[in-house]
Amino acid sequence: MRTFIAIPLPDESLVMLDEVQQQLRATKAEVRWVSIASIHLTLKFLGETEPETIERLSDALEAELRYGRCFTVRLQGLGCFPNQRNPRVIWCGIGGDTGQLQGLQQKVESICASFGFPQEKREFHPHLTLGRVTGKRNLQPLLDCIKIGAAQELSFRADHFNIYRSTLKPQGAVYSVLKSIRLLGQD
């Protein structure tokens, strides 16, 4: 089964992202938009994983990380990967306690590596994927809207992360929580 590890977003954040996405959609740019219910903050993509491995991995993650501190995640700004001249991915940026977030991601990466998962070679750039550009039509209005929408901010407390199963369906991937791991440490 395809799996990944991510921090879920609270409803308030999803409502804000839905409003942002609606503004971006109004540009009629050629973008395949991510379903609001599917937006999450990825810590590690695992890929195809055996159920027994997930069980052992979740136990190890919980044992090592459950006393990690909760922290603040701030949704801030909009942008594109790789850049605005050649946008492929439309994203919402992440701020807040980024040191805590980076530390959690590095620990997750390290624990996963001990189970044989390949380590990510790219630097961790926390973001929320809102959509993927599929064509050039109406690109400039989209980029203008991204600049205007960059001022919106909203914070939430990250107090847990999940291991998800990703099931590919014709209408897109469907995510289900396999295990939720609470961060019990005080901040």
As for how many domains the chain has, the answer is: 1
- Could you give the CA distance from residue 175 to residue 106 in angstroms, rounded to a whole number? 23
Helix axes 11-25, 139-149, angle to 10 degrees: 140
Beta carbons within 8 Å of 173's beta carbon, 6+ residues apart: 38, 166, 167
Q: What is the pLDDT of residue 184?
A: 83
pLDDT digits (tens, 9 = 90+) for 77-115: 999 999 889 999 999 999 999 999 999 999 999 999 999
pTM greater than the 0.85 cutoff:
yes
Is 50 inside any structural domain?
A: yes
Q: What is the pLDDT of residue 22?
A: 94
Q: What is the pLDDT of residue 150?
A: 63
pLDDT digits (tens, 9 = 90+) for 42-91: 999 999 999 999 999 999 999 999 888 999 999 999 999 998 899 999 99
Is 93 inside any structural domain?
A: yes
Partners of 127 in the β-ladder? 93
Is 65 inside any structural domain?
A: yes
Is 13 inside any structural domain?
A: yes
> Residue 13 is part of a domain; what is its CATH number?
3.90.1140.10
Is 73 inside any structural domain?
A: yes
167: tokens are 């099931």
Determine whether 24 is exposed, middle or buried from the number of CB atoms within 10 Å of its CB (0-12, 13-18, 19+): buried
Is 187 inside any structural domain?
A: no
The whole-chain average pLDDT of the chain stands at: 93
Domain interval for residue 104: 2-182
Q: Is the pLDDT reported for residue 152 higher than 80?
A: no
